[in-house]
Amino acid sequence: MHLAYPAVLSVLLFCTGLYGVLARRNAILVLMSVELMLNAVNLNLVAFDVWLSRAAEDTLHSGQALTLFTITIAAAEIGIGLAIVLAVHRNRGTSDIDRLRDTAEGHDPDHDSPAAGQAEKAEATA
Amino acid sequence: MTTTTLAVLVPLLPFLGAVAGLLLGRTAPGFVRPLAVLPTLASLVLAAVVAVRQGGGQAVTAATELTPTGSVPIELALDVDGFAALVALLVTVVATCVQVYSTGYLREDPRYPSYAALVSLFTSAMLLVVYSGDLMVLLVGWEIMGICSYFLVGHYWETPEARAASIKAFLVTKIGDVPFLIGLFALATDAGSFRITKILGAVASGGLDHPTVIALLLLAGVAGKSAQFPLHTWLPDAMAGPTPVSALIHAATMVAAGVYFVARLLPVFEASQAAMVVLAVMAAVTMVGSGLAALAQDDIKRVLAYSTIGQLGYMTGALSVADRGAAVFHLLSHGAFKALLFLAAGVIIHAAGTNSLAAMSRMGHLRDRVPDAFWTMTVALLALAAIPPFSGFFSKESVLGAAEHVATGHTEHAPGAAGWTVLIAGVVTALLTAAYATRLWLLAFHGRGTEAPDHGRQPLTMTVVLWVLAVPSLAVGGFAYRVLPDWFDGDDLAPTLTTSVLGTGVALIGGIVTYAAWRHTTSLAMGVPLGAVAAHPEGDAGQVEAEAIASHTPVYGGVAYAPDPADPGRLLLGPLHRHAAVGFHLDSAYRTLFVRPVQGGAALVRFLDREVVDTYVRGAGALPRWLGIAVRRAQTGNVQTYVSALLAGTVVLAVAAVLVATGA
């Protein structure tokens, strides 16, 4: 199989993931998009490892080994990420990233913006 | 134990008592009272033993070098001569009486532990001053007294009067202490030692190069500590402290330190005729001015405060005519009867619920409520007015006799001008002293009007002490003038006929004139009701006094003043009364001369700092602040925006890297 197929597939996957991270509003979907990007990288790693090991006499298959690392870390990351999303949802009643703006400059945690509350209502009625 | 060991223990015991009292004050409140009274009592016994062993003979001296300084060494020296032994005895007697009295006076005070410890520390510092043979060590005790008086005068720090008075006492005495310190250095440089014995030796052999400068510098410190004109203004205000503190600090010990210091170093002052004349003029102004001011005061303790200043004037007067025996004799007898006067005044304030003489003069039967205070105060006032045979008569006549001795031509030690100044001022002051003593007695004990409130008997600790102090006020003078010359320089202290007749005569005239004025004005008292008493008459004496001090200004319109037409002092002083009541406007003069310029300077510095220096600092910070404001706008809180920016940056960097790598 030509190297171009997995490479193009991986680029497509990565771009889909990138779009999801940048544009999705639900935190869970953002996490899923991160997974897509990681897997695009994994695909790349495996494809290039196979391509390179074809020429070499003996190889350590370091690309495949690195993929195993990535999968493990991705599992841990998704566990922690989902736990955080769950905690945020329990705490705030939403996992909408656009509403989680506590780090904004000039944000006042004492009276949680009545403007945001009104916007929420407006959104609900719309 | 040797006399030296005993003498070392005398200042050490109250110091240890103070340390233990401060440490145990919270954890073991049961020990506070014994720790306050017993060390002072023990050092009283030891001081008595030291005095008996010393016996007026050869001075007990001991010294060990404290620290090598490179030039003049500082030595931990002990020098107990007849003066030191007797003054230490006075200090310990008064301190013990005050400690015993305080256990009753402040029995419900929550700050009693720290108060008692400070009184002990104060006593120890005074004893250090008395026994020390090295001027630097003496200065340590001198300054500890200053800081202790700051804390003790400010004991009722809830009242603004006490806060202001404690700061004023501290600052005014410090104004004197700065030249004092320079004077000590100059003296030590000239004499080559801080040891008093060596300095006196150097003076005797004419080794002082600048006696006038040194003496005048030292006099500034003495004037501050001993409340002499023009640095006396702190003492009347310091009456905002508790009465036992007034008795201890402002009658018998701290103010005595200045007089005692001059007495010890009298040859240094004698070396300069100018210093002696300055001392005499200072004493004369102090005596007459304080006598007039005392006649116009309304607060019973302020009368006593001005009287203290006047009696200290007698002592400095005696020093200015080079008779330190007479000065210390008056110091001893005055210490006894003035402590008694203050402590009795405390009892009266407690019983009457007010410190105002105008209010007391409208109270019937006050003397039946406090018979102990009445009788002992009568004794002490007679001693103050120098009526024979009370002790004040003998000591005051010894001062006047010494002045007369110099004025009549025996000018080998002191200039004749000093003699005449002190003699005339002393006789005038004798008249004024008798007048204000009579006024105080008549207004406090012969009031007419509503019954004085009855709070039951005063605590035993407060009344017994009065009788203990009444004994020396009554009897000591009569035989002391025969015994004391053996302890002092050997000069005769017996009263001479001329000054005795003159002094007693003017004292009697002063008393009779005041009585006549009082008979004349007392009928007016009914027409003008006056008086406010403490809100908690059942509280302990300290609380009653604090309330009386706090309420004096709102009720009568001034700390020292009451609009009372029945006051005999008002009739006697005539137009002077208005000025005398405020201490001849010296406070407002100082305010104009010193306080206002300092405040103006402070305002200028504040303006320069806030408006000029700060402008540059703020200007330097403006550009980063504006940049920060611009950058802060990017901080929206939306994580996806941040990631987008990150991506854009990465892409730009990647493209740039590729372009660089390909060489385009």
| CB spacing of A104 vs B635 below 8 angstroms | yes
What is residue B561's predicted lDDT score, i.e. its pLDDT?
67
A115/B contact by beta carbon, under 8 A: no
What is residue B298's predicted lDDT score, i.e. its pLDDT?
83
Say how far apart CA B395 and CA B37 lie, in whole Å.
30
Kind and range of the H or E element at B131? Answer: helix B112-131
Q: Where are the alpha helices (DSSP H) in B389-528?
A: 391-407, 416-445, 460-471, 477-487, 497-521
Collect all residues of chain B within an 8 Å Cβ-Cβ radius of residue A100.
637, 639
Higher-confidence residue: B4 or B124? Answer: B124
B640/A contact by beta carbon, under 8 A: yes
What is residue A2's predicted lDDT score, i.e. its pLDDT?
86
Task: Give me the percent of chain A exceeding a pLDDT of 70.
Answer: 83
Q: Give the least confident one: A61-65, B22-26, B253-257.
A: B22-26
What is residue B528's predicted lDDT score, i.e. its pLDDT?
65
Task: Give me the percent of chain B exceeding a pLDDT of 70.
Answer: 95
Q: What is the CA radius of gyration of chain A?
A: 21
pLDDT classification of B447: cutoffs 50, 70, 90: confident
What is residue A40's predicted lDDT score, i.e. its pLDDT?
95
pLDDT beyond 50 at A126: no
What is residue B126's predicted lDDT score, i.e. its pLDDT?
92
Q: Are A9 and A43 in contact (CB under 8 A)?
A: yes
Mean pLDDT of chain B: 85
Among the partner-chain residues A22, A23, A101, the one whose CB lies closest to the CB of B637 is A101
For the segment B291-318, what is each residue's pLDDT rounded down to a tens digit? Answer: 888 888 888 888 999 999 999 999 999 9
Collect all residues of chain B within an 8 Å Cβ-Cβ radius of residue A22.
640, 643-644, 647
In this structure, is the dihedral angle defined by the CA atoms of residues B505, B511, B513 and B516, taken in order, positive or negative? negative
pLDDT classification of B64: cutoffs 50, 70, 90: confident
Average pLDDT (A98-105) is 79
Among the partner-chain residues B633, B636, B643, the one whose CB lies closest to the CB of A101 is B636
pLDDT classification of A17: cutoffs 50, 70, 90: very high
Say how far apart CA B508 and CA B370 lie, in whole Å.
26
Average pLDDT (A63-88) is 93
Decide: helix, strand or coil at residue B132.
Answer: strand
For the segment B541-568, what is each residue's pLDDT rounded down to a tens digit? Answer: 677 777 777 777 766 666 666 677 777 7
Mutate to test the interface with A, among B627, B632, B638, B644 (most CBs of A within 10 A): B638
Mutate to test the interface with B, among A18, A22, A24 (most CBs of B within 10 A): A22
- What is the domain partition of chain A in residue ranges? 4-125
Backbone torsions φ then ψ of B65, nearest 5 degrees: -70, 125
What is residue B608's predicted lDDT score, i.e. its pLDDT?
94
What is residue A122's predicted lDDT score, i.e. its pLDDT?
52
Closest CA–CA distance from residue A61 to any residue of chain B (Å): 28
Average pLDDT (B65-93) is 85
What is residue B501's predicted lDDT score, i.e. its pLDDT?
87
A16 forms beta bridges with none
In this structure, is the dihedral angle defined by the CA atoms of residues B263, B265, B271 and B275, taken in order, positive or negative? negative
CA distances from B342 to B109, B301, B562, B613 (A): 19, 7, 21, 53
Mean pLDDT of chain A: 84
How many other C-beta atoms lie within 10 A of the C-beta of residue B589? 13
Q: Is A115 exposed, middle or buried (0-12, 13-18, 19+ CB in 10 A)?
A: exposed
| CB spacing of A21 vs B633 below 8 angstroms | no
For the segment B146-155, what is each residue's pLDDT rounded down to a tens digit? Answer: 899 899 988 8
Contacts for A51 with CB less than 8 Å, ≥ 6 apart: A3
Average pLDDT (B132-153) is 90
What is residue B9's predicted lDDT score, i.e. its pLDDT?
87
* Token representation of residue B92: 């310990």
What is residue B559's predicted lDDT score, i.e. its pLDDT?
64
For the segment B490-527, what is each residue's pLDDT rounded down to a tens digit? Answer: 777 777 888 888 888 988 998 998 888 888 877 776 66
Collect all residues of chain B within an 8 Å Cβ-Cβ radius of residue A107.
637
* Token representation of residue B287: 């005596």
Q: Give the least confident one: A65-69, B203-207, B465-469.
A: B203-207
Q: What is the fold, at CATH topology level, of the domain defined by A4-125?
A: Helix Hairpins (1.10.287)
What is residue B560's predicted lDDT score, i.e. its pLDDT?
65
pLDDT beyond 50 at A106: yes
What is residue A82's predicted lDDT score, i.e. its pLDDT?
93
**Residue type (1 letter), A4:** A
Chain A, residues 34-93, CB within 8 A of chain B, namely none
How many other C-beta atoms lie within 10 A of the C-beta of residue B598? 10
A22/B contact by beta carbon, under 8 A: yes
Higher-confidence residue: B571 or B141? Answer: B141
Task: Give me the percent of chain B exceeding a pLDDT of 90.
Answer: 19
Higher-confidence residue: B325 or B482? Answer: B325
pLDDT classification of A46: cutoffs 50, 70, 90: very high
In this structure, is the dihedral angle defined by the CA atoms of residues B203, B207, B212 and B218, taken in order, positive or negative? negative
pLDDT beyond 90 at A8: yes
Say how far apart CA A9 and CA B119 lie, in whole Å.
93
Say how far apart CA B331 and CA B336 lie, in whole Å.
9
pLDDT beyond 60 at B227: yes
Say how far apart CA B385 and CA B392 lie, in whole Å.
7
State whether ipTM is beyond 0.85.
no
Q: Are B505 and B388 in contact (CB under 8 A)?
A: no
pLDDT beyond 80 at B482: no
Contacts for A1 with CB less than 8 Å, ≥ 6 apart: none
